[in-house]
Amino acid sequence: MKKFLRYLSFGLLSTLLTATPGLSAERISFFYPPFGEFSLSVDSLEIFAKEGKITDELAFYASRTNPQQLAQLRELLQQRFNVTPTLVSQVTYSPIGEDVVQRLGDLLLTDSRQNGFYALRGALILAAADPEGLTVVNLLRKFPSRTIRLNFTAGLKIVDDLSQVLKKRDEVVAWVQQEAMRSVLLSATPNTATAKTVVDFSQQPDLRSPGSFTWQRQEFILRDFQRDRVMPMDLYLPEATSRSSQADPSPPFPVIVISHGVASDRFALAYLAEHLASYGFAVAVLEHPGSNAERVQRYLTGLAGPLEAKEFINRPLDIKFLLDELEMMAKSNPRLQGKLNLQQVGAIGHSFGGYTVLTLAGANINFEQLQQDCNPGISSFNLSLFLQCQATELLPVNYELKDDRIKAVLAINPLSSSIFSQSGISQIQIPVMLVAGSQDIATPVVSEQIRPFTWLATPNKYLALIENATHFSLIAEPTPENDVLPIPPALLGPDRAPAYSYLKALNVAFWETHLLNRPEYSIYLQPAYAQYLSQAPLNLSLLKSLSADQLNQALQQSNP
């Protein structure tokens, strides 16, 4: 039945694309109490976009803005989004896409003041198929209603709510930075009970630089016939050199696995894998076939369905299968015999991969919390909830996903708030580092990293916060093969080189301390080292403790 509906939807789509719509939007209208009804023609916006000319009609609104805002408006109107009608159709017909368009339809109403869901979805598809491409003006032209009625009151509330959320986020980020700085000052103050020896990091080994090992990358294809999963995997295997010392790791090397995010692949953190291999860690990087770049590309071209809820279970099982396969290969493959220590394993994950490694560390899925947070009547600015709520399609049972071989995890921009909640996160007993970006709009820093950090019960926990970093600041530049979701430059943030260096240094310190049990590296896991590494505008802060009461107090202070 699903296949029939899919074919039917594409048949209707092809009919739409070859038809000329009988209606198109001519005006945008909104009611602004107590001043009454206002409207603006689409022609005025189009003239402004193409010629930069402000008509008499547009002048009424332009006079109430500044030149910078007008320039931004024209840039938005001129922006062409390079998407195909098939891609738009796939996204807007998916459960997540339908939810997004439904919410937008509450703002953009038809002439009869009905939710603009169907009109908006049709307009998006038609605009993407137009020779001029998907632009704001073209979207308005394809809207099948003479007038687009903007729900101005609801729009103002959303803008106001969003501004409050962003204001609170910025205040909490500033508070975390102050707490980290307070820890730095406290550790440098003599004659106090908590004072420590001040470390001159300029005289210490630079963990941002490569280690003393060379390495070889070996490619493997793992096949899990029971789950019908084929997983490409790269293994970065260290090789000792003349620069290696007795203090460096020796075979069997501790193993670190890396789990990528949605629409990504095993090359997204390859620079980090290479860096860790140079320090004597064997790094295994696999691809999750249900959510990697290839799978998402097939979905966007109409060759596969949307992301399935079972991926929440399959991803940690992929890592378990990888470790099982490595154990067998370490016995049977001459190149790997005696090279891998699979009882001392670390796990790194980005975004959905962050969820994956936290699950392997012992965090349990909280289905009760998901049902509460995924109620259709609840609105949120947390985009990661769209993905987390997919897990409500799973059977609400206790999935055994923890792997005792994993001794520590490092989660970068993880999604965690609803899928785990406090009850799930608090189950983790091994060392954890959470890495967050203050400008992350996909997995917002307060809800997905800072608050979950307070839920961690393990005594060895770290929160690394990078100011002005986004969700994409720590992944490598995309390749033509994995650039399936082109990211606008505005979402990439400042130059990423400093962020890469932070991640390299903190990883070496974290794994040397908690996987190799080398306490001399713990000096790098201090707020003072983060301050030493920090470069504006990507300022780095590190916290080792934060309670829920402290965070709640900070939130109350930011919103009396």
DSSP states of 145-184 as a string?
SSEEEE-HHHHHHHHHHHHHHHHHHHHHHHHHHHHHHHHH
Q: Are residues 132 and 221 in the same domain?
A: no
Q: Are residues 451 and 338 in the same domain?
A: yes
Q: Are residues 240 and 124 in the same domain?
A: no
Domains held by the chain: number:
2
Phi and psi (nearest 5°) for 133? 80, 180
Cα 287 from chain centre? 17
Please answer whether residues 502 and 494 qualify as being in contact, where contact means their C-beta atoms are separated by less than 8 angstroms.
no
Asked whether residue 175 is assigned to any structural domain, the reply reads no
CA pair distance 282, 287, nearest whole angstrom: 17
What separation in angstroms does the CA of 498 have from each of 168, 393, 463, 530, 540?
A: 26, 40, 17, 12, 10
Name the helix (H) or strand (E) containing 315. helix 311-332
Model pLDDT, residue 490: 67
Asked whether residue 165 is assigned to any structural domain, the reply reads no
Please answer whether residues 362 and 402 qualify as being in contact, where contact means their C-beta atoms are separated by less than 8 angstroms.
yes
Q: Are residues 248 and 344 in the same domain?
A: yes
Asked whether residue 155 is assigned to any structural domain, the reply reads no
Residues of the chain with pLDDT under 50: 1-22, 194-195, 560
Model pLDDT, residue 234: 98
Q: Are residues 238 and 386 in the same domain?
A: yes
The dihedral over CA atoms of 390, 394, 398, 401, expressed in degrees to the nearest 10, equals -60
Asked whether residue 546 is assigned to any structural domain, the reply reads no
CA pair distance 97, 483, nearest whole angstrom: 20
Please answer whether residues 315 and 360 qualify as being in contact, where contact means their C-beta atoms are separated by less than 8 angstroms.
no
Asked whether residue 334 is assigned to any structural domain, the reply reads yes
Model pLDDT, residue 485: 64
Asked whether residue 392 is assigned to any structural domain, the reply reads yes
Q: Are residues 251 and 370 in the same domain?
A: yes
CA pair distance 326, 341, nearest whole angstrom: 10
Residues found in the chain: 560
Model pLDDT, residue 2: 39
Q: Are residues 128 and 243 in the same domain?
A: no
Q: What range defines the domain where residue 257 resides?
A: 210-516
Cα 224 from chain centre? 27
CATH classification of the domain holding 443: 3.40.50.1820
Asked whether residue 552 is assigned to any structural domain, the reply reads no
Q: Read off the pLDDT of residues 147-188 as tens digits, 9 standing for 90 and up.
A: 989 887 777 777 778 788 888 999 999 999 999 999 998 877
The domain boundary residue, chosen from 135, 150, 165? 150
CA pair distance 438, 418, nearest whole angstrom: 20
Q: Are residues 145 and 286 in the same domain?
A: no
Model pLDDT, residue 486: 63
Q: Are residues 119 and 247 in the same domain?
A: no
Asked whether residue 178 is assigned to any structural domain, the reply reads no
